Structure 1
């Protein structure tokens, strides 16, 4: 039977296990995809810990990890148009993606360009699409300065590159060990450790000011850097929506469309966006892949590759 990596109840890594399940049957408007690659994201372990998105129903257990995949269509559900068996696709699965097979809503799935690898495509539906949506939401004019907190992670790496492609100057906070990596993205690095973060950002930013903040850390970091922008419509977060709302900012407004996936894929093919897949693991080492992200050791993106 096909295998998948899941958590059996809410808690820590001890709740994780491989499970065997029947091959899913695609329902109306769904694609059944043979997974070739699955992106690993912080939200994966956060959901295991008990985090629930506002308004989201309780997740049936065991729950398969993973919210972005790339693979090949092996079956079509009723009422699906625009796709055929054998098509290479990528998108956000329903029911998890750390698996040999996954279901993908056809309405928000995108065709994978031939020149885009499965591993790179699997990094786009969450990290790159979140970055793209956030930057479109900020709608900054060319030449503006953007601060990205936590720029060394998956969303931050994509956001820095897309911002540069949009003609923005980027200042990014990250650990001292990621300085060279951050600067390679075309961003000005500000060490994240230590006090007076806002002052260090002012010292690094051109002219001593930033025009917007794209937060990927939340908590005290978000609260401190919020003071850098007077117009709180230019304060957004993908990490801590409740805190951003209290500060007058807002969460990233996700479009979740195939059109956005097409756009970020074009950015990759043009060379403006490098997915920066820095570690890959086979499905049987899904636990190691997740630990790499959960322990904060990842630079860029971690991908699980499913052998065929």
Structure 2
């Protein structure tokens, strides 16, 4: 089979295609013939900045072709999506059953790969803030694979006002079409009326204005890999708080909660209330172009590899 790998940190140019044997599923694993693979900012950053090469994992969706020992509930021929912790940029990938979700009839693999993991991050990050109906929410990276779903979920969960923060004003029309009431850019002076919740995927220089955008008692949830520092004084003023969220930790330690999120996402999708958007499809061999699209923050929705 073909898969994408890299041997040292760098940009998209370090990715290369190789031929390797099809892996064998172990206990509790599914061997999936991938039909769609999600490209995420954390993986893109690890390729550029990580000290050691890692398997290129993330969201996958496709057909089960073989199951390992101690697998129940899945069989060859089933269509599944989920979070792969091993080599996911490949024609065949291994998926733990705890991370798997059946793709319902009428949904494509691209729908699934744009919805399941990114939607779980968006939904989980919002829940981490313990929102109350009628509170306002600001989403950074609002046009991203996670952010565009977070904007919609915040609205569906009863937010009184949803603000989309983006790096380029050209994305304003896109995020407004998803339900954003207002759009701000990172470089502008002030982000308007304070909000109760900020969902931040950007980090870095965006953290300070994101915290200062909070109303008294507001909560910032950091779920990205951008790093950065928050000044304690900015939290003390107005009794603000910062919360870290990692979906992988929940999936491993609270699988029933992760399954609940996945079920809710599929329900909202089936009702037509939640629209996963795919920015572009790239062949597996074009993984470098897909990574460059993410690095250039050109995407509006999910970037997907299609083997």
TM-score by structure 1 length? 0.87
Figure out how many residues of one structure are paired with residues of the other and give that number. 289
CA RMSD in angstroms, aligned pairs only:
2.0
* Aligned match of 2:136: 145
* Aligned match of 2:260: 259
* Aligned match of 1:289: 290
Equivalent position to 2:154, from 155, 160, 163:
163
* Aligned match of 2:229: 243
| 1:303 and 2:304 correspond | yes
* Aligned match of 2:254: none
- How big is the shift at 1:278? 1.9
277-286 or 244-253, larger mean C-alpha shift: 244-253
Q: Secondary structure at the match of 1:136?
A: helix
* Aligned match of 2:89: 98
Equivalent position to 2:198, from 180, 191, 213:
213
Alignment of structure 1 residues 61-210 onto 2, 5 Å:
61=53, 63-168=54-159, 169-174=161-166, 175-196=168-189, 199=190, 201-202=191-192, 208-210=193-195
Listed as ranges, the gaps of 5+ residues in structure 2 are 236-240, 252-257
* Aligned match of 1:17: 16
- Assess if the C-alpha contact under 8 Å between 2:57 and 2:85 holds in 1: no
- Assess if the C-alpha contact under 8 Å between 2:195 and 2:218 holds in 1: no
- How big is the shift at 1:145? 0.6
* Aligned match of 1:227: 212
Give the Cα–Cα distance (whole angstroms) in 2 for the partners of residues 245 and 7 of structure 1.
Answer: 37
Listed as ranges, the gaps of 5+ residues in structure 1 are 53-58, 203-207
* Aligned match of 1:40: 39
Q: Secondary structure at the match of 2:172?
A: helix
Q: Secondary structure at the match of 1:299?
A: coil
Q: Secondary structure at the match of 1:68?
A: strand
Give the Cα–Cα distance (whole angstroms) in 1 for the partners of residues 281 and 268 of structure 2.
Answer: 22
Give the Cα–Cα distance (whole angstroms) in 2 for the partners of residues 84 and 109 of structure 1.
Answer: 12
- 1:180-230 superposed Cα distances (whole Å, 9 cap, x missing partner): 11111110333315342xx2x22xxxxx33111111211221112202325
